[in-house]
Structure 1
Amino acid sequence: MEHPFDPMMKMKEFGHENVYFFNDEATHLQGVIAIHNTALGPALGGTRLWTYANSFEALHDVLRLSRGMTYKSSAAGINLGGGKAVIIRHPEAKYDKAYWTRYGEFVERLGGNYITAADVGTKTEFMRHIASSTSSVAGKPDDLGGGGDPSPVTAYGVYLGMKASAKKRYGNDSLKGKKVLVQGVGQVGRYLVGHLLKEGAEVLIADINEGNIKKTLALGSCQVVAPDTVYDQGMDIYAPCALGATLNAETIPKLQCSIIAGGANNQLKDEVSDVERLQACDILYAPDFLINSGGVINCYIEVIGEYNRDKAFEGCERIYSRTEETLQYASTHGVSTHDAALALAQERIDKAKS
């Protein structure tokens, strides 16, 4: 019986190189690793632990996410490709050292073509166990010489991308006095708020987690808004830093802002129609995979040698100029900022192939 989702056709459509399925009965470990493109280097991408309804859903997710990592790495200007892994949650799995060590063994079998890291549902401590069975892992704990939590670096890149966007829209990159709504103040969002407060921005925050709100308020004066009122707020800049797909047919017409620049992944629910909606509303959109690429830069510094946090922050500095370049490309070629970022990333990949 033919399933409406054809794995091979989707691989061809997205341009994937390899897809690997893995299964271990003893630990109830089951998942998929997708390698999208290795033209620039080994495929980097986190491991997502999620509850999927079926293997088709897991496969669709890993294909989509790994493709996004290719463009994120290229946009960041680093010599890594794009990959991703998803693990299907199992009610009997313990997610202990044995579980993650076994997963590391599967990663090791790929011979360095895929480098894993933490993602949704996984954390730095899991990388410690994975590192016991493979060297192809980034985001390890500090005591193992790893980059640890990449959130501070990611947030700094988002901040720089936001400033470059402000320069394009307002004529200068100062955020002082600008009203910025940060949706989601977990790790990345909270660090971003810190940068904004230091510059004198008027910061609004929204989060469904009261603990995150309390930690963020400890940084300085912020206005707390209810999560369900985010799109009713007047603001200069909207910074989505929680879940993806917050930019869609329902929310975009409600937005009262001139710039969108946030740390969330996959902010556009539909990369074609939602881009058109943003253009119709005259909202400058800073492509998410460009300005939130600090996380992959952090991993890259770890992968190429002895990790140094200062070097990771230095690597993020290029996000400002790359955002400027992307926005200028969009203006010059009459395309959306999203398409401009994709085009520039693809140019770099094509050069590596030639």
Structure 2
Amino acid sequence: MTAVWDLPDFDQHEGVHAFTDPESGLRAVIAVHSTKLGPAAGGARFWHYADTGLAVTDALRLSRGMSFKNAMAGLELGGGKGVILAAKPGDTITTEQLEAFGRAVESLGGAYVTAEDVGMSEARMKVIAGKTRYVSGLPVASGAAGGDPGPYTALGIYLGVKAAAKRGLGADDMRGVRVAIQGVGSVGGGLARLLAADGAVLTLADVNADKAAALAAELGADHVAADAILTHDADIFSPNALGAILTETSIPALKAKVVAGGANNQLATRADGARIHERGILYAPDYVINAGGIINVGLEYLGHGDEAEVKARIARIPERLDQVWDDSARTGEPASDVADRIAQGLIGR
């Protein structure tokens, strides 16, 4: 059996914790990558994995990404991630499991701060908050920082997509720019609505084909099958579903000149960042472009500023992307490697 610290995605993590609660059926992993800049903040996701090893790998990769994301966003937070295992696809998490997860978070004494991710919601965060102080993404008053991070993530990605269109396509606005969006949930759907208002030509896809079709009808967009969107003929491919979709096999089939989206861990391996770079495709590193949500819930937890401050910080996402792309152009390194190098410097790795 391979020890956790011998796994390929173990990256000097400060802690990897496995939790079970027989009464509720909870099985969860909390990975704390770094607390160098502050408590390890990162959402909890509820998901079914084909085997438990994949859940641990996901927690390791996502927590490392959160360390880099929070550092690049200038937040006084480290990086962590919670993964709650669903027994089978389509399962719904129970109140008892949420409470058990809250107790697990509390047992870490503030080393990890949780919030929403895939399969979670403000209402579920409220249940968790009944068992731990170390939670964010809770309902807040109008004008305050906090609440559902999804719209803020979508806003940051929208600004990043526009910056990428200007950089990679020479487009001063989004009118007529063809964008293929993979995943139309809270984030991808929010992005689609913002781009549609700017006159972008959208093609949508989701594993829930009916959801993609309904949003396409609302926005006057096209929709295709989920397995066709990555190779769709578009100017920009925007992945906003699950990660590891940019691979040795899929990258050569990309038709887009730009990849800019909100999915975490889009690159299956570090080498895939070099593959995109070698193809001359402009890549927006995921943890730089998708920081809007953690900026929102991070400032909520830290008690720094209001909604206006959140939006002001999100507005700086294009500047950080330009910094990465400028350095990539100067050094010839892939944008993904440049972003990693900058983030690692910020957290002292």
TM-score calculated relative to the size of structure 1: 0.89
Question: 1:9 aligned to 2:6?
Answer: yes
**Match of residue 330 from structure 2:** 332
Which whole-Å CA distance do the structure 2 matches of 1:9 and 1:46 have between them?
25
Give runs of aligned pairs for residues 104-143 of structure 1, distance below 5 A: 104-142=102-140
TM superposition shift of 1:209: 1.8
Which whole-Å CA distance do the structure 1 matches of 2:236 and 2:29 have between them?
37
Deviation readout 1:81-119 (Å, 9 max, x if unpaired): 11112223358x984333322321221122211101122
**Match of residue 277 from structure 1:** 275
Which whole-Å CA distance do the structure 1 matches of 2:230 and 2:116 have between them?
30
Alpha carbons of structure 1 residues 229 and 27: separation in structure 2 relative to 1, 3 Å: closer
TM superposition shift of 1:309: 3.4
**Match of residue 293 from structure 2:** 295
| Alpha-carbon contact 1:138-1:146 (below 8 Å) kept | no
**Match of residue 62 from structure 2:** 65
Which whole-Å CA distance do the structure 2 matches of 1:342 and 1:280 have between them?
18
Alpha carbons of structure 1 residues 21 and 289: separation in structure 2 relative to 1, 3 Å: same
TM superposition shift of 1:21: 2.5
Which whole-Å CA distance do the structure 2 matches of 1:345 and 1:306 have between them?
22
Which whole-Å CA distance do the structure 2 matches of 1:342 and 1:289 have between them?
10
TM-score calculated relative to the size of structure 2: 0.90
Aligned-CA RMSD value: 2.5
Deviation readout 1:26-60 (Å, 9 max, x if unpaired): 22223221111011110011222233455444333
Alpha carbons of structure 1 residues 61 and 228: separation in structure 2 relative to 1, 3 Å: closer
Alpha carbons of structure 1 residues 10 and 231: separation in structure 2 relative to 1, 3 Å: closer
| Alpha-carbon contact 2:209-2:225 (below 8 Å) kept | no
Question: 1:43 aligned to 2:40?
Answer: yes
Deviation readout 1:106-161 (Å, 9 max, x if unpaired): 21122211101122233222111111121110112347987332111111111111
TM superposition shift of 1:234: 1.8
Question: 1:176 aligned to 2:175?
Answer: yes
Which whole-Å CA distance do the structure 1 matches of 2:278 and 2:116 have between them?
37
Alpha carbons of structure 1 residues 214 and 111: separation in structure 2 relative to 1, 3 Å: same
| Alpha-carbon contact 1:140-1:146 (below 8 Å) kept | no
Alpha carbons of structure 1 residues 299 and 180: separation in structure 2 relative to 1, 3 Å: same
Aligned pair count reads 346
Which whole-Å CA distance do the structure 2 matches of 1:183 and 1:52 have between them?
20
| Alpha-carbon contact 1:48-1:120 (below 8 Å) kept | yes
**Match of residue 99 from structure 1:** 97
**Match of residue 207 from structure 2:** 208
TM superposition shift of 1:73: 1.1
Q: Quick one: which amino acid aligns to residue 47 of structure 2?
A: W
Q: Quick one: which amino acid aligns to residue 68 of structure 1?
A: G
Tell which deviates more after alignment, 57-66 or 258-267. 57-66
Alpha carbons of structure 1 residues 49 and 156: separation in structure 2 relative to 1, 3 Å: same
Q: Please, which runs of 5 or more residues in structure 2 have no aligned partner? A: none
TM superposition shift of 1:179: 1.0
Deviation readout 1:155-204 (Å, 9 max, x if unpaired): 11111111222222234542222111112112111111122122221112
* SS state at 2:63 partner: helix
| Alpha-carbon contact 2:10-2:60 (below 8 Å) kept | no
| Alpha-carbon contact 1:164-1:173 (below 8 Å) kept | no
Alpha carbons of structure 1 residues 215 and 330: separation in structure 2 relative to 1, 3 Å: same
Q: Quick one: which amino acid aligns to residue 158 of structure 1?
A: I
* SS state at 1:35 partner: strand
Which whole-Å CA distance do the structure 2 matches of 1:12 and 1:185 have between them?
28
**Match of residue 81 from structure 1:** 78
Q: Please, which runs of 5 or more residues in structure 1 have no aligned partner? A: none
